[in-house]
Chains A and B, each alone.
Chain A
Amino acid sequence: MADPVTKHPTLIEGARASRTSIALKFLMAVSGLVFVGFVLGHMYGNLKAFAGHDAFNEYAHHLRELGEPMLPHEGFLWIMRVGLLVALVVHVWAAVALWRRAQKARPIKYVVKKHTGAIPASRLMRTGGLTILIFLVWHLINFTIGKVNVQGGETDDPYNLLVDTFDVWWMTLIYLAAMAMLGAHLHHGVWSACQTLGITGTAQSRARAKTLSLALAIVIAGGFSLVPIAVLAGIID
């Protein structure tokens, strides 16, 4: 009888650090931190909307010229795009691998299970991540690749596209919901990355990492939300 209880898996030989589940987590952490840097910059750019039409468009244009003449036109932008794409692939791939591993690790679920010790955000990482991914696709179609103006207005003026988009209440709602998810994702994700990178070895540093992740979550999600709310409220038009 192939008895699962008495059959002893042997010890593995030649284990490699790069083949472990922790190595996957490193990839998650590093690619995640790339996104944190990106969204911080992105948010800063968005806030230019408060400075008016010209300032915002100039900023968008400047991004294309950044690094010139060392870099070709739009060079920086493309480097960033490629970098982000790689990070995205890595982040999603590692997440799927870890998710599948978790599924296999507990095939039979508990009848009753409490989640003592877990913050709600930590339990939203997978669904939240998926939501953000779907949002990202729409967001790129909306503003970058497709340039869809739901009001049918012009699309090659970034500021006007932004205002037209968030003038529509349900667009703002989608956007805010996505930012809430992003906030939750960062709230656990930043802390988790610190932990994964092994920089939270004491109770103190753990508390600091938790504060930092909450602060980043609030600043980023809040910062992004300001512009659409301002547009909808008529502060930006």
Chain B
Amino acid sequence: MTDGMNLTLNIWRQTGPDDKGSIHSYQVEGISSDMSFLEMLDVLNEQLNARGEEPIAFDSDCREGICGMCSLMINGEAHGPEVTTTCQLHMRSFKDGDTITIEPWRASAFPVIKDLVVDRGALDRIIQSGGYISANTGSAPEANSVPVPRDKAMRAFNVATCIGCGACVAACPNGSASLFVGAKITHLGELPQGQPERYSRVVDMVGQHDHEGFGGCTNIGECAAACPKEIPLDVISQLNKDLRTALKQGH
């Protein structure tokens, strides 16, 4: 490719969990604006491989914005400057000569495994602690036996779009996962099927959230701005409301 962008990349490199890590600087040339951000990193990795330097480890899987595996703090913004996942960020959002700083998600609950790869198992454990409706296979009643008002079903769906990527935690100045927890609380709490466990769920999930070392929410809103699925801040209000009710009910 003759034309295209030339970029300076400042990338966090860390050989393992115990390594201190530091920012390394790389140059890439001839980057097409049609490339995705991760394809740009693929190009860099091919170059590194060719010159005998170990490629940069970063997570990605579906590369269509739905699995939540990709992460990356790009120039100080989780998933970069657009409201989408890193894998759906395209190089047309940058311009020739730009310097791009790429860091892993930073939170004590998300320890770095290598380079830009972090462990987000804490989010799984929050789900384990209550982010479900107990319905053993085979025990379900006929699906249409319980109607769900459409607006409640819509709200449940809108917040169930959370992909568990952790951008909310990465962006939050307090390292809180409240948006993640709130989205699940709201999703299950809006549905009639979610009522029986509603208040024990919120206490258990918030308890696990705190236990994992996430920070408390101060309602700043950077999480919602970073969320690639545009989950609104009102899920945190819902979370608080449900916890308040749980408190009243003696949970």
Contact = CB atoms under 8 A, between A and B. Distances in A.
Answer yes or no: A and B touching, Cβ < 8 Å: yes
A4 B19 CA distance: 12
A205 to B, nearest CB: 8
A199 B240 CA distance: 9
Nearest to B175: A105
A117 B225 contact: yes
Contacts of A24: 216
Interface residues of B, number: 66
Contact of A196 (B103, B207, B240, B242): B240
Contacts of B222: 115-118
Contacts of B203: 15-17, 20
A105 B103 contact: no
Interface stretch (A38-46, A106-114, A168-176, A219-227): A106-114
A109 B106 contact: yes
B247 to A, nearest CB: 4
Nearest to B169: A105
Given A11-B125, A15-B203, A18-B247, A98 B216 contact: yes
B237 interface: yes
B103 A110 contact: yes
Nearest to A113: B76
B108 interface: yes
Interface in B177-212: 202-204, 206-212
Contacts of A191: 219
Contacts of B238: 198, 201
Interface string B44-73: 000000000000000000000000000001
Contacts of B236: 195
B215 interface: yes
A21 B210 contact: yes
Interface string A69-95: 000000000000000000000000000
B241 A201 contact: yes
A21 B234 contact: no
A115 B218 CA distance: 14
Interface string B223-251: 11110000011101111111110110001
A105 B240 contact: no
A122 interface: yes
A61 interface: no
B77 A114 contact: yes
B216 A102 contact: yes
B211 A105 contact: no
A198 B214 contact: no
A196 B119 CA distance: 29
B17 A5 contact: yes
A203 to B, nearest CB: 7
Q: Tell which of B10, B101, B221 has the most Cβ of chain A within 10 Å.
A: B221
5 contacts: A16-B251, A17-B243, A111-B23, A118-B225, A198-B244
